[in-house]
Amino acid sequence: MIEPKNTSRKRGFYVKMRLLHNNNRKSCFCFKYFKWVLWFSLSFYFFAMFLFNHKPNNTNNTSYSSPIISKTTVPQYSKASRALIEHPWREHHHSVDSLNGLKIYVYELPTRYNTDWLTNERCSNHLFASEVAIHKALINSDVRTFDPFEADFFFVPVYVSCNFSAVNGFPAIGHARSLISSAIQLISSEFPFWNRSSGSDHVFVASHDFGSCFHTLEDVAMADGIPENLRNSIILQTFGVKYDHPCQRAEHVVIPPYVSPESVRKTLATADVNGKRDIFAFFRGKMEIHPKNVSGRYYSKKVRTVILQKYGNDRRFYLKRHRFSGYQSEILRSTFCLCPLGWAPWSPRLVESVVLGCVPVIIADGIDLPFSSAVPWSEISVTVAEKDVGKLGSILENVVATNLSSIQKKLWDPRITRALLFHDRTIEGDATWHVLHALTKKMSRSHRRLRLSDE
């Protein structure tokens, strides 16, 4: 069977549109340029629609119709901040050039010092888990070097906050000093780098209550002080105060407590971005009516007790004494989130409130907050002195009447959110990046840099 001529070209699939008769030359001219006109028209249409549908949100017009509990609709979380949480790698990859050529050697210790603890899932997700997150990020970071002779700093990955008590479920750090001492003994006997600098270019994480003092009660921590074998090293610790304290008498960097980016993503995924903040002031956590510890002291220096006594029946305040897994959804509904001290001055609520768009109310005298060069804490939070906690209601009402809109606008800056969250890989501007940036300011402790400058 012989095929007709017009079926011989069968490569690909095409549709021929015969708009006008071929004998009409003017029509042929129109046909020749028709597809270009059509392409231009469609492109212009879709571009115009994109501009029309992507108008910026106006977050300045926050007002309160009631001094008790407002139901005014305000953006809970800016689109830019939400995108940052949901897609952290999209535009903010780690840049070595911005870190002055920093190089870090990560010791590969036996697993009993670190990854063996990960059999308990809480180890990598609880409020002290920055020790795990920083380790993971450094392993995957461009600043990591496998040649210790070219390293500026040496990271010692010892997890000391993953030993959870079988009695109360809280992290038990009674083993911390011996575990760190064992790790130092190991690296100093197998490598020359600790001894040549007396550990001054070595970095540890102490992410629990009183940091490098390794105890949960302040008086004991202060009495014990920093272990002698760590006093020359650099400590990354959540504990920080602006006055002299035995637990920060070592070179240190104040870091944020760990809040899981995944938990924040899940909270935002189920939330209405333009929902209502119908809770005026929120707190959920431990609040004692009577002192319960053996020393007779009140938890949080009685601050939380006063809050409960003064505002427990105040309709403006949403106070709950027990935690539950979905409490971040309550933060999204709140205008102010109370962040009183516990045993130590810092709290994971500092991070949770900021990244979920709730104004943190910091009640912890003398606290030194993390990454103050990147996070303008005085502009995005409210600070209340411990002695003034009984005036909390009037203080917050005054903020509503004066500068709440300004605080919220600055709070929704995605760069602030980025700076307070740790990820498994370093993103430029995230919490691990700011740790690295802080280390670049301590290059005078780098044995390699000192040697090169002498040469």
Residue by residue, pLDDT tens for the chain (455 residues) are 444 444 444 444 333 434 334 444 444 444 455 555 566 665 665 555 555 444 444 333 333 333 333 443 344 444 545 544 555 544 444 455 689 999 999 999 999 999 999 999 999 999 999 999 999 999 999 999 999 999 999 999 999 999 887 777 788 899 999 999 999 999 999 999 999 999 999 999 999 999 999 998 899 999 999 999 999 999 999 999 999 999 999 999 999 999 999 999 999 888 775 668 999 999 999 888 776 665 667 788 899 999 999 999 999 999 999 878 789 999 999 999 999 999 899 999 999 999 999 999 999 999 999 999 999 999 999 999 999 999 999 999 999 999 999 999 999 899 999 999 999 999 999 999 999 999 999 999 999 888 777 66
For the record, the structure tokens of 361 come out as 């109310």
3-state helix, strand, coil in the chain (%, to 5): 45, 10, 45
Q: 386: which residues sit within 8 A by CB, 6+ positions away?
A: 301, 303, 341, 363, 364, 365
Task: Please report, as a single letter, which amino acid is at residue 438.
Answer: A
Nearest alpha carbon to residue 303 among 288, 318, 284: 288
Task: Please report, as a single letter, which amino acid is at residue 231.
Answer: R
The predicted structure's pLDDT at residue 63: 35
Task: Please report, as a single letter, which amino acid is at residue 298.
Answer: Y
Task: Please report, as a single letter, which amino acid is at residue 449.
Answer: R
DSSP SS3 for 299: helix
End-to-end Cα separation, the chain, in angstroms: 88
The predicted structure's pLDDT at residue 94: 46
Task: Report residue 159 CA to chain centroid gap.
Answer: 19
The predicted structure's pLDDT at residue 184: 98
The predicted structure's pLDDT at residue 66: 34
For residue 318, is it left (φ>0), alpha (ψ between -120 and 50) or beta?
beta
Q: In angstroms, rounded to a whole number, what is the distance separating the alpha carbons of residues 277 and 444?
A: 48
The predicted structure's pLDDT at residue 6: 47
**C-alpha dihedral sign at 389, 391, 397, 399:** negative
CATH 3.40.50.2000 residue ranges of the chain are 261-419
Do residues 185 and 194 touch, judged by C-beta distance below 8 A?
Answer: no
The tally of CA atoms less than 13 A away on the side-chain side of residue 188 is 17
Task: Report residue 353 CA to chain centroid gap.
Answer: 11
The predicted structure's pLDDT at residue 39: 62
Q: 85: which residues sit within 8 A by CB, 6+ positions away?
A: 261, 264, 265, 268, 355, 417, 421
Strands (E), 274-422: 279-284, 317-320, 334-340, 359-363, 382-383
Task: Please report, as a single letter, which amino acid is at residue 8.
Answer: S
The predicted structure's pLDDT at residue 44: 60
The predicted structure's pLDDT at residue 33: 55
For the record, the structure tokens of 8 come out as 């011989």
DSSP SS3 for 455: coil
Q: In angstroms, rounded to a whole number, what is the distance separating the alpha carbons of residues 419 and 227?
A: 30
Q: In angstroms, rounded to a whole number, what is the distance separating the alpha carbons of residues 346 and 248?
A: 14
Strands (E), 229-329: 234-237, 251-254, 279-284, 317-320
Domain 261-419 annotated CATH 1.10.8.50: no
Residue whose tokens read 């409960």 = 308
Do residues 342 and 367 touch, judged by C-beta distance below 8 A?
Answer: no
DSSP SS3 for 106: strand
Neighbours of 4 (CB within 10 A): 6
Do residues 76 and 417 touch, judged by C-beta distance below 8 A?
Answer: no
Phi/psi at 334 (nearest 5 deg)?
A: -105, 145
